[in-house]
Amino acid sequence: LRKKNLTPAVFEQVKDRKTSSGVTLKACINSGLVNTDSGVGVYAGDEETYKVFEPLFGPLIEDYHKGFKITDKHPSDMDESHLTAPNPDPEGKYILSTRIRVARNLRGYPLQPTNTLDGLKAIEKKVTESLATFEGELKGTYYPLQGMDEATAQKLIDDHFLFKKGDRFLEAAGINQAWPEGRGIFHDDAKTFLVWVNEEDQLRIISMQNGGDIGAVFARLCKAVNTMNKHFEFQHTENLGYLSSCPTNLGTGMRASVHIKIPNASAHADFKKICDEYHIQPRGIHGEHSETAGGVYDISNKRRLGLSEVQCVQDMFNGG
């Protein structure tokens, strides 16, 4: 998307620009320059990046979040009673699990490519102190990455709960600095409510469980996010919604997915075309940039900006 949208004219317009915290064009596009198999290839270093480099980011955002115009206002709806998504597979024949996450960044800190170790640590402290007060279904424990033994970390990754280490796209965007300091995962005993701290975004708030009860997963996420809104102020603008370091995660910051067995559909010649038509994105069984196994795919909503959270989940439900 960067290659398509950074035309010679746009390049001339933005090549010498810089945000007040020093984010350059080179910093924004380095991940895609290093990783030529990128689908998107840009990251924003701070809130101002989206304004200062709008000649590049604006068209790219409209390209990814089909139907959204950069001048539009972004809507929000986290009322689970507005969702119509009854379990599509109550017998558990196809859907292994359901997961919905949102990305968030705290106001007052840069986005991750320009964050500092002090910033990461301050965020970790602030977030974990608040999470420690959560009760009931949201009660859990924080596990910092630093000091976690390899086997425990690897098991959490293999079981789909924890982010992976050494992502080359994040590395080239400057997001893996001082790893693993300041990073960690909070979760309840059942691992149905989880919060990733200081990965690609400062926070990833996650609700997940086995099976296809999308409504229950969404309801838990609504409860978690509404509780977190009382504790934190997140970076947010009227037209871009919640801000994120990657433009694909703007708006709702939401990716709602199912792990679903579709060996025949995925082998169909028109699989990609059908996914595009329904605004869904297939990923491998171990998440983005991973291969799949046994015809099980991670199917999720592709658009996250210009439509509400309820509509994002609805996109995944309709497509799946």
State the residues that interact with ligand ADP by CB under 6 A: 97-99, 101, 160, 204, 208, 255, 257-259, 283, 286-288, 298
- Separation CA 205–CA 186 (nearest Å): 10
Is 104 considered catalytic here? no
Is 183 considered catalytic here? no
Question: What order of strands is seen across the sheet that includes strand 141-144?
Answer: 141-144, 184-187, 193-197, 203-210, 95-104, 254-261, 296-301, 280-283
Window of 21-29, 207-215, 228-236, 245-253 that interacts with ligand ARG by CB under 6 A: 245-253
- Single out the catalytic residue among 62, 80, 124, 200: 200
Q: Which is nearer to ligand ADP, 86 or 108 (CB)?
A: 86
Q: Kindly report the backbone phi and psi dihedral angles of residue 236, in degrees, each rounded to the nearest multiple of 5, phi listed first.
A: -155, 140
Q: Which is nearer to ligand ADP, 197 or 258 (CB)?
A: 258
- Separation CA 295–CA 297 (nearest Å): 6
Q: Is 105 in the site for ligand ARG (CB under 6 A)?
A: no
Q: Which is nearer to ligand ADP, 52 or 302 (CB)?
A: 302
Is the distance from CB of 253 to CB of 104 less than 8 angstroms? yes
Is the distance from CB of 245 to CB of 27 less than 8 angstroms? no
Q: Residues 155 to 174: which contact ligand ARG by CB under 6 A? A: 169
- Separation CA 44–CA 315 (nearest Å): 26
- Single out the catalytic residue among 248, 252, 304, 312: 248
Is the distance from CB of 241 to CB of 286 less than 8 angstroms? no
Q: Shortest Cβ distance from residue 248 to ligand ARG (Å)?
A: 4
- Single out the catalytic residue among 104, 183, 204, 303: 204
Helix (H, G, I), strand (E, B) or coil at 221: helix
- Separation CA 74–CA 63 (nearest Å): 16
Q: Which of 137, 121, 132, 286 is nearest to 197 (CA)?
A: 121
- Single out the catalytic residue among 101, 104, 220, 304: 101
Is 200 considered catalytic here? yes
Q: Which is nearer to ligand ARG, 83 or 303 (CB)?
A: 303
With CB under 5 to 8 Å by kind, the binding choice for 31 among ligand ADP, ligand ARG, none is ligand ARG
Amino acid at 236: H
**Residues engaged in binding ligand ARG (CB under 6 A):** 31, 38-41, 169, 200, 246, 248-249, 288
Catalytic residues: 101, 200, 204, 246, 248, 255, 283, 288
